[in-house]
Structure 1
Amino acid sequence: MRQQALDMVHELARRDSRVVFIGSDLGPGVLDGMRREFPDRFFMEGVSEANIIGMAAGLAMDGYIPYVNTIATFLTRRCYEQLAIDLCLHNLPVRLISNGGGMVYAPLGPTHLATEDLAIVRALPNMSVVAPADETEMIRMMGVSLDLRGPLYIRVGKGNEPVVTGHVPDFAFGKAVPLRSGRDVVLISTGAQTGQTLKAADLLAEAGLSAGLLHLPTVKPLDRDAILAAAVATPLLVSVEEHTLIGGLGSAVADVLADAGVLKPLLRLGLPDAYPTGYGSQEYLLGQAGLLPGQIAARVQERLATLS
């Protein structure tokens, strides 16, 4: 997914002379083709994340469209004031490609786990937030990112995620993608977690339950109409996210329901409000949080049993 995002930066640079790339301490081969073809629009700035946000803001004020790439935790925790003041206050068209959303960098420990990044960037006025599910959706999103007003946060998964949106022809910011209809429950997910959630829907179907799946590639602005329509169509909504339960997708869905005055059971599945106590692979930590497909399906069945 990350490679497709970077390849699209190079393609966009060919289409539009305003596109520039800014990296922070990335590998020597990253976007080497763009560096050779457009050396005056390729910058690798080292370990200076707060500085590159200011640099990107300055270039945007001068008419460029910067695409910034580094690790998600560094783009959010380390640069929060620069995101708020340099980018969002001025509503500048800077695109933040954040590597390793969620627990991608699990072996590196809590310093590299982007488990609260959506909460951080959702809180910023003017910031749009997207989390594509797979490489095909990433390509479609990047293809239309030039024309978006204001700053954009792009949450990038590990790579090699199962392609679940290959049949979707276009990408529209703020629009949900219905992947499956269902009568008994509608699962709502975003980003790479959507692939895991689709497997959970399959397991629920094997158990005789009709489980819908609503993929929200845009976390902000959220597709209110799609969420409210799902709430009308089913007795239970379930949000699933590789993110803390505080301030992420589930919180956003709950906000939509509350603001509309809709009383609907909502089961929120995500990461606990705690740092992980051990180290391991991404899959291991997902299992510890109950976010593997079988665990998701079991939690849904438990909640549905309380509603009958």
Structure 2
Amino acid sequence: MRDTFVRTLIDIAKDDKNVHLITGDLGFGVLKPFWEQLPDQFTNAGIAEQNMTSFAAGLALQGKAVFTYSIGNFPTLRCLEQIRNDCAYHNANVKIVCVGGGFVYGSLGMSHHATEDLAIMRALPDVTVLAPGDLVEAECATRAIYQHQGTCYLRLGRGGEKRIHEKIDDFQIGKAIKIKNGEKVVIFSTGAIFDEVVDAIQSMEEHSINPALYTFPIVKPIDRAAIEECAEQYELIVTVEEHNIIGGFGSAVSEVLAELPGPRARILKIGLDDRYSSIVGSQKYLRDVYGMSAEKIVKRIQGIFCE
């Protein structure tokens, strides 16, 4: 995803000299093509994310479209006050980009596990939150936040994500994307955890469970219409996120469901069960440990239908 983001941003920045990319002293192997081709539109702010964010806000308030870039929690939690006070409050045109959402940097420990970022960024007024699930969504999301005025958060994986789409004809902020129809159960996925969801569905189909599937590359504003439609059509809505189940994507869906009148689908939220990820290991290993692997997703859903 990060390579796709950089390639897309280079295309955008070549056509718009007001686009500026700031890194917090990270990502040089990936960002090198940008600074080589567009050196006047690139700044390394050093390991000083608070300064990076305030600097970005200042540039944005002078007419620039500014992208900040770092890994894990560094461009978000480390400089949350600056995002809130300098960027979001002023509706500054700053696009905060995190590479390594969830357990991408699993071997570096909990300080690098980005598992509360969606909830925290979603809580800030007027901040648009995106978590694409594949390379096509990542490209569309990058172009969408460039065109969207105001502060945005783009949460990326790292690389090697499975391809969902050949193309997306009508990518819109605030709209989910239907992948397939199904029966009784529908799975909502956000971010790079989508590859586990695909494997889980293939396994369930072999055991006569045929879930519908939507991907939600936009967490805020959430697609209320898609949720409401599925709540009437299916018995169970399952949300899957590589993130704490408190305050994140599943909570956003639950908020919509809670306001619906009459009978509706029940919800199962799959993610990190309101705890710190204190174990160290690969992304694949940690997904399984914390119940987000394809096998664990299948077991959770089968458990409900066997009640």
SS of the residue 1:179 aligns to: strand
1:23 partner amino acid: T
1:54 partner amino acid: S
User: Would you say the 8 A contact 1:137–1:166 is kept in 2?
Assistant: no
Q: Residues 69-128 of structure 1, C-alpha deviation per residue, up to 9 Å, x if partnerless?
A: 001301121111001000110011111110110011000001100000001100000100
Residue of structure 2 in register with 1:45 after alignment: 45
Residue of structure 1 in register with 2:64 after alignment: 64
Residue of structure 2 in register with 1:124 after alignment: 124
Distance, in Å, in 1 between the alignment partners of 2:228 and 2:259 is: 11
Residue of structure 1 in register with 2:35 after alignment: 35
SS of the residue 1:144 aligns to: helix
2:299 partner amino acid: A
| 1:41-120 to 2 correspondences below 5 Å | 41-120=41-120
Distance, in Å, in 1 between the alignment partners of 2:88 and 2:106 is: 30
User: Would you say the 8 A contact 2:110–2:278 is kept in 1?
Assistant: no
Unaligned runs of 5+ in 1: none
1:285 partnered with 2:286: yes
Distance, in Å, in 1 between the alignment partners of 2:303 and 2:165 is: 29
In structure 2, do the counterparts of structure 1 residues 265 and 73 end up closer, same or farther at CA, with 3 Å as the change threshold? Answer: same
Which piece of structure 1 moves more, 197-206 or 31-40? 31-40
Residue of structure 1 in register with 2:298 after alignment: 297
* CA RMSD after TM alignment: 1.3
Distance, in Å, in 2 between the alignment partners of 1:27 and 1:277 is: 25
User: Would you say the 8 A contact 2:2–2:30 is kept in 1?
Assistant: no
1:15 partner amino acid: D
Distance, in Å, in 2 between the alignment partners of 1:37 and 1:6 is: 12
1:292 partner amino acid: S
Residue of structure 2 in register with 1:157 after alignment: 157
In structure 2, do the counterparts of structure 1 residues 284 and 29 end up closer, same or farther at CA, with 3 Å as the change threshold? Answer: closer
User: Would you say the 8 A contact 1:176–1:217 is kept in 2?
Assistant: yes
Cα offset, 1:27, TM superposition = 4.4
| 1:208-247 to 2 correspondences below 5 Å | 208-247=208-247
Cα offset, 1:68, TM superposition = 0.9
Distance, in Å, in 1 between the alignment partners of 2:25 and 2:133 is: 26
Which piece of structure 1 moves more, 188-197 or 220-229? 188-197
Cα offset, 1:167, TM superposition = 4.1
Unaligned runs of 5+ in 2: none
Cα offset, 1:138, TM superposition = 0.8
Residue of structure 1 in register with 2:272 after alignment: 271
Which piece of structure 1 moves more, 37-46 or 220-229? 37-46
TM-score, normalization: structure 1?
0.96
Q: Which segments of structure 1 move beyond 6 Å, counting only runs of 4 or more? A: none
Q: Residues 200-227 of structure 1, C-alpha deviation per residue, up to 9 Å, x if partnerless?
A: 1121111111211111100000000001
State the identity as a percent: 39
TM-score, normalization: structure 2?
0.96
Distance, in Å, in 1 between the alignment partners of 2:278 and 2:22 is: 34
1:79 partner amino acid: C
User: Would you say the 8 A contact 2:13–2:19 is kept in 1?
Assistant: yes
User: Would you say the 8 A contact 2:4–2:138 is kept in 1?
Assistant: yes
User: Would you say the 8 A contact 1:72–1:101 is kept in 2?
Assistant: yes
